[in-house]
Chains A and B, each alone.
Chain A
């Protein structure tokens, strides 16, 4: 059965303090690994899709990477506006299976 595990559950950072979030997965055949950002009280917002090991994608201070067993979301020099819950998800046929998320708090 496909499985997605995110760590840590919560991450508190000082502004400018770079860090990484982990998404470990097991899947029979990877069709896509997705990253979403979710602000409190709102729906998830799409960030990236990765399809094969070695692939990397960047958007502003965020960079997602993929290996055969895990994906990392690197946050470089974060700002308070990067505070959110970050979700990773596996594509399983039509649907996505989500991890529980990592809540990131960036203090000024």
Chain B
């Protein structure tokens, strides 16, 4: 079974702090994604990567950056956390090519005070 593991299920941070969310997948997938999920808004894509060291902006990249130094690991970075970044963050991966199904992690619930 595909396993996508997010390092932290729950985090509480203060405004202005730097936040790292880590994601690891064990199925040798080329594509990895970071979404955030908010009530009434559904899942919105922040960034994705289709290869090591490659990254593409999604629909809401402002205030975020990403890093993909190894194929299995995709990190989401909040350089200076703000209260409007309080959300559920979901990492996902998929096989190479376009149009494949996404496999999701359990999510990281971030609260910024």
Interface residues of A (CB under 8 A from B): 31-32, 34, 41-46, 49, 87, 89, 91, 93-101
Chain A nearest Cβ from B78, distance in angstroms: 20
Provide the B39-51 mask, 1 if CB < 8 A to any CB of A, else 0. 0111111001010
**Could you pull out 11 A-B pairs where Cβ atoms are within 8 angstroms?**
A31-B98, A43-B90, A43-B106, A44-B90, A44-B104, A46-B102, A94-B48, A94-B56, A98-B42, A98-B43, A100-B41
Question: How many B residues, CB 8 Å from partner?
Answer: 28
Does B43 lie within 8 Å of A46, measured CB to CB?
no
Does B42 lie within 8 Å of A95, measured CB to CB?
no
**Given A41-B107, A44-B104, A45-B104: A93 touches B98 (CB 8 Å cut-off):** yes
